[in-house]
Every structure is written in C-alpha cells, then in structure tokens.
Amino acid sequence: MKNIYSEILKAKTEQRKLLAILLDPDKIVWEGIDQLISKIDQSPATHVFIGGSLVFSKKIDDLILKIKANSNLPIVLFPGNPSQISNHADGILFLSLISGRNPDYLIEHQVKAAPILKKTNLEIIPTGYILIESGNETAVAKISQTTPISRNDEQEVLDTAQAGEMLGNKLIYLEAGSGAHLSVPAAIIQLVSQNIEIPMIVGGGIKSKDEIELAYASGADLVVIGTAFEKDNNFFNLNL
C-alpha cells in the first residue's frame, strides 16, 4: 500500500514527530547486519532511508530485503542518482536539488529515472531538496557541484522552499549534508516551517538528542540521522 506520504501528513496533523535512520549501502558491515537491524528496530525510528551521494554497492536490493525480513519500518530510497533505485523499497524521495543551479540535479537525473520508476511499484514522493551551507564541503555539494545557500541567508532558503512548494513538491528537505559540521540553524527551520504548508524534513550533521529535539521544536516534521547512528549503533540508547 502506498501510504508513506499520507502517514507523514497524518503525523504532521497530529503533531507526531518522525525520525528516519539513513543507511548508506557502501558503509554497511555485512557481518553485523542482524545486530544493526535489531538496533534500528529498538530505536525510535519511524522510517529507514537508504542512499547516499555516491553509492558503489551492488547490494541495495539485498540490504532492503534483509531489513524487510526483520523489520516493519517503511523503507524509503534517498538516491544520489538513478542507479540507486530498487523496487524492493516502499517509496522514493524523488529529489530535485532546488537550491542548486546544476540542471543534472534539477531535471536530468529525474528524466533518466522516470522510465525506471514507471516499472516499479514505489511510492514516488516529489521532494524539494535544499542544501544549506554547513561549515565544511559535504559530499552532496561536491558531487552535485552546487553551492549551498548561505546559512545566514534565511530569506533565500525560504524563497527556495516556497518555490519548491509552489512547483508541487510534497516535501521540503532542508539538508546540511551528511557529516556536516553544523546542522541546519533552528532559525531557518522555524522560518520555513511557519511559511510552508507541506511537511519538512531536516537532516545533516545532527549529532545529539538535544539537536533532534531542537529541530522538532523549531518545526521539523521528520529528522534524518545518518552519521551519528553509523558511528554508534547505540546512539539512541545514550543520553547525549
């Protein structure tokens, strides 16, 4: 059933905050996969996102099937390019990097992905993806060859988010980049959340439970945790 987006909308209406654990298939240690999945299942995660700016692994299908066999969490692709599409997932964030001006990431990859997606049953969730400067050059900025929006330019982020909403995107994703030194500023999260209707995802560089709570309190509907959980699978058990 294609109900990922309707569940996100429902959670927003009920003010229930959502949490995604992001897994990069290239960084999976297969020997520890059962333990990893059980840690995800014991965590407060509501979604598993799978993807990365560049993924070389040919094991995306295997990874998804393994998670599905052991967990009921919805699995959502978060692809850096069309090679990361797997029909075994439940849905896909169909991203357009609207903070950038690189046509490959605004429309080219999407055109390449369309015929592949047409042959899948994935729930396709169009998502306006906004990269915000985070103190270091992140993989997504490097690979996409785009310049993130300045973390001091709240208005530009807001204008971009509103344009993304007007274009029909169903989600806005405020991204600092995986492993970012600085996560998206609370003031930006707050400004955008107060001025768009659609749900908002926030991720990149979030390293503590306090930061997760701050993002929620500022208006994030769904927070993404990648690196912090990858470094320590007990992240959600710790009092950080």
* Binding region for ligand 1GP (CB under 6 A): 22, 175, 178-180, 203-206, 224-228
- Residue number, 3 or 225, with CB nearest to ligand 1GP: 225
Which residue in this structure is represented by tokens 């806005």? 172
Please, what is the minimum distance in Å from the beta carbon of residue 143 to ligand 1GP?
12
| Residues 160 and 106: beta-carbon distance below 8 Å | no
Please state the closest distance from residue 178 (CB atom) to ligand 1GP, in A.
4
Burial of 173 (0-12, 13-18, 19+ CB in 10 A): buried
The residue (of 73 and 206) whose beta carbon lies closer to ligand 1GP is 206
Shortest distance, position 204 Cβ to ligand 1GP, whole Å:
4
For residues 174, 177, 178, 179, the Cα torsion angle rounded to the nearest 10 degrees is -120
Minimal distance, residue 78 CB to ligand 1GP, in Å: 7
Cβ 225 to ligand 1GP shortest distance, Å: 5
Minimum CB distance to ligand 1GP smaller for 14 or for 138: 138
Q: Using the minimum distance from each CB to ligand 1GP, give the nearer residue, 2 or 27.
A: 27
Residue closer to ligand 1GP by CB (options 26, 121) is 26
CA–CA gap between residue 2 and residue 7 (Å, rounded): 10
SS3 146: coil
**Residue whose beta carbon is closest to ligand 1GP:** 203
Would you give the DSSP letter of residue 150?
A: P
CA dihedral 175, 76, 126, 199 (to 10 degrees): -60
Q: Which residue has the tokens 């959670």?
A: 11
Closest CA to 127 of 83, 87, 79, 89: 79
Minimum CB–partner distance for residue 196 and ligand 1GP (Å): 18
Q: Looking at beta carbons only, is 23 or 85 nearer to ligand 1GP?
A: 23
